[in-house]
Amino acid sequence: MNAPTIAVRSLEHRYGNREALRVGQLTFEGGATAILGPNGSGKTTLLRLLATVTEVQQGTVRVAGFDPTDHLERTAIRRRLGYVAQRDGLPPRMRVRAFCDYVGALKEIKSARLRRRWTGWVLDRVDLSDVANERIGTLSGGMQRRLSIAQALLGSPDMLILDEPLAGLDGKQRIEIANLLVELAKSNTVVCATHQAEELATLCHRVVVVDDGQPVFVGTPHDLAAHAEGRVWESETADPNATCRAVGPGRFRCVGQGIPSNQAPVPPTVADGYLAIVRH
Amino acid sequence: MTMQEFDKAMTRCGEVPRLFAGPSVVTDPTRHSANFAAIEAEIDAPKPGLLARVLLRLGVSEDTVPLVTATPALRRSWIASVGLAMLFALTSAGSNTGEGADRIVVFLTLAPLLPLAGVALAFSPKVDPTYEVALAAPIDGFRLFLIRAMTVLGGSTLGLLIMSALMPSGGLQRIAWLLPALATTSLAMALSTRFDPLMAAASVGAVWLLIVTMSVSASSVADAFGPVMQVVSAAIASAGAIALGQRRRRLDITSDR
């Protein structure tokens, strides 16, 4: 695999007086990395910095060896980047095909013929060819999310930065997009922020858990699951001293500091590992 | 040819599908799929819209046309509101006769605000849902900004010039809004490198209204929009353009400070 590496060091980011992000050192190598974290934990801020959308306030970011604070190097990064923002960024009155054509022009694909070919290819990848001539506002939420991913694929970037790529998708679509991301991650660097610990993080090579603006875990999904080893049980009541979630009618799965004496441990999952970390 | 017609033709002709699907021609399934998707895209591609066709006929490059036609301020709602505003301005000015002719000030006051509002709507993150997608793309932010600003500026200026020509009286004074319009838009564009374009345009518009109100109350319309205002407007337009050029890199990235 010869995918580009993204590295950050001593990164700090503030919104006014509020510190949003503080990262000592973090490297995203080829393959897929999931950034997990609760709302407001700094995931989107980190992704916007990696995508060169927002200015680096303090620290260093290197994307494929380029420095985004330099105008020319920033452009070099953007030529290799596909980005899906947290909010879809889709103009509702524009037609799907025209939107892809527009993004193609933004990505410096100069020939209209070539943009049409790219448009056909990316819409086919996300199964939107049938609605190419529809207005974006008439598409379902899931279709709009897939269109966001399609625009990111224009120009075949070797780095993909995706903020909540599975948000708003139904079961089948989630599987299809997750499969697509896994396929893309074979030869590219894919970084996605997600809430879905179980669904997406399990498919990624690495997981970074961000809590309160700081990375609190970096490792494989297996390592993350192992973090909750001996701390997960299932019972018919929710333990107020643990993080419990309903997993069936009258059944709760709890992650705590240890197993209560009257319960038996169950094998932990990635989601359990995530809850064990962010709980503290 | 529609896609259905293409499918029929493919079915009738036994050799053509083999050209694309035969293993001796295409062995990579990804490429195979990409080829078919590309063919479909070519066949299904709708005819370019009227504006796109006009721009292409005028010699605008293929990669610039989508950037112009996607300008948020080209929405029908914006064009309709500009049309109404200009009609109002024209009606106000055109209904004046005799000693009421000074009411041309309504037109001269409102006219510079229209291109100003259009430029603000052309690039504000609050108005443009694709703002972040555009930021993350390699296109020069300054180029995109200028394309959109010039699109709106050009359209509204042309409309205002037609309105000016239709006015029954006023002579050269009818186009006394032109340099102030350039000055306000140039200043707002320069301020957009530091502030949100909507806020920049609103501030410049408010200052413009204040200055005009003060000038008109202190002197005649002819003096208020006379040589002094024209020279000052030209100077502000130039200064704004220089400041915009110097700070153009700020249009490539956002700051959360």
- Is pLDDT above 60 for B248? yes
- Write out the two tokens for A42: 């700094």
Q: Which of A45, A85, A93 sits opposite B133 (nearest CB)?
A: A85
Residue where a domain stops, chosen among A187, A203, A220: A220
Looking at the structure, tell me whether residues A205 and A232 fall in a common domain: no
Looking at the structure, tell me whether residues A167 and A49 fall in a common domain: yes
- Is pLDDT above 90 for B19? no
How many domains is chain A built from?
3
Let me know if residue A72 belongs to a domain: yes
Looking at the structure, tell me whether residues A110 and A163 fall in a common domain: no
Beta bridge partners of A113: none
How far apart are alpha carbons B241 and B190 in whole angstroms?
7
Looking at the structure, tell me whether residues A136 and A114 fall in a common domain: yes
Residues B58-116 pLDDT 10s? 999 999 999 988 876 566 666 666 676 667 666 665 555 544 455 678 888 888 988 88
**Nearest chain B CA: its distance from A206 CA (Å):** 24
Q: Is residue B164 classed as helix, strand or coil in its secondary structure?
A: helix
Estimate to the nearest angstrom the gap between the alpha carbon of A23 and the chain centroid: 18
Gap between the terminal Cα atoms of chain B: 54
Looking at the structure, tell me whether residues A146 and A166 fall in a common domain: no
pLDDT the model gives residue A109: 94
CA dihedral A223, A225, A229, A232 (to 10 degrees): 170
φ and ψ of B164, to 5 deg: -60, -45
How far apart are alpha carbons A211 and A275 in whole angstroms?
11
Residue range(s) defining the domain that contains residue A103: 93-153
Beta bridge partners of A210: A215
Q: Which of B67, B132, B136 sits opposite A81 (nearest CB)?
A: B136
Looking at the structure, tell me whether residues A18 and A142 fall in a common domain: no
Higher pLDDT, B19 or B7: B7
Residues A66-88 pLDDT 10s? 999 999 999 999 999 999 998 76
Beta bridge partners of A255: A232, A243
Domain boundaries, given as residue ranges, for chain B = 3-45, 62-252
pLDDT the model gives residue B79: 66
Q: What's the residue count for chain B?
A: 257
- Is pLDDT above 50 for B28? no
A91/B133 touch (CB, cutoff 8 Å), yes or no: no
Do residues A149 and A177 touch, judged by C-beta distance below 8 A?
yes
pLDDT the model gives residue B38: 64
Distances (CA, A) of A274 to A23, A28, B65: 19, 19, 48
Higher pLDDT, A95 or B255: A95
- In B, minimum Cα distance to A56 occurs at B255
B129 in contact with chain A, both atoms CB, cutoff 8 A: yes
Least Cα distance to A80 among A59, A61, A108, A54 occurs for: A108
> Predicted ipTM?
0.89
Residues A94-105 pLDDT 10s? 999 999 999 999
Q: Which of B41, B134, B249 sits opposite A106 (nearest CB)?
A: B134
Let me know if residue A241 belongs to a domain: yes
A-B C-beta contacts closer than 8 Å: 148
- Write out the two tokens for B13: 């002709």
Residue where a domain stops, chosen among A153, A170, A189: A153
Average pLDDT over chain B, rounded to whole?
A: 78
Estimate to the nearest angstrom the gap between the alpha carbon of A51 and the chain centroid: 12
pLDDT tier at A119, thresholds 50, 70, 90: very high
Mean pLDDT lowest for which of A209-223, B60-74, B138-152? B60-74
pLDDT the model gives residue A13: 95
Q: Which of A89, A108, A109 sits opposite B130 (nearest CB)?
A: A89
Looking at the structure, tell me whether residues A115 and A253 fall in a common domain: no
- Is pLDDT above 70 for B31? no
- Is pLDDT above 90 for A170? no
pLDDT the model gives residue B164: 81
**Nearest chain A CA: its distance from B43 CA (Å):** 10
For residue A207, give the CATH number of its domain: 3.40.50.300
Looking at the structure, tell me whether residues A6 and A97 fall in a common domain: no
Average pLDDT rounded to a whole number, residues A210-233? 93
Let me know if residue A85 belongs to a domain: no
pLDDT the model gives residue B237: 95
Q: What is the DSSP letter of A138?
A: G
Chain B residues whose beta carbon lies within 8 Å of the beta carbon of residue A51 = 136
Average pLDDT rounded to a whole number, residues A128-155? 92
Element (H, E) at B60: none
- In A, minimum Cα distance to B72 occurs at A91
Looking at the structure, tell me whether residues A7 and A73 fall in a common domain: yes
The secondary structure of chain A, three-state, reads: CCCCCEEEEEEEEEECCEEEEEEEEEEECCEEEEEECCCCCCHHHHHHHHCCCECCCEEEEEECCECCCCHHHHHHHHCCEEEECCCCCCCCCCEHHHHHHHHHHHCCCCCHHHHHHHHHHHHHHCCCHHHCCCEHHHCCHHHHHHHHHHHHHCCCCCEEEEECCCCCCCHHHHHHHHHHHHHHCCCCEEEEEECCCCCCHHHCCEEEEEECCEEEEEECHHHHHHCCCCCEEEECCCCCCCEEEEEECCEEEEECCCCCCCCCECCCCHHHHHHHHHCC
**Percentage of the residues of chain B whose pLDDT score is greater than 70:** 69
Beta bridge partners of A69: none
pLDDT tier at B21, thresholds 50, 70, 90: very low
Looking at the structure, tell me whether residues A175 and A56 fall in a common domain: yes
Least Cα distance to B148 among B53, B76, B37, B67 occurs for: B67
Residue where a domain stops, chosen among A220, A236, A268: A220
Let me know if residue A170 belongs to a domain: yes
pLDDT the model gives residue A2: 75
- In B, minimum Cα distance to A134 occurs at B46
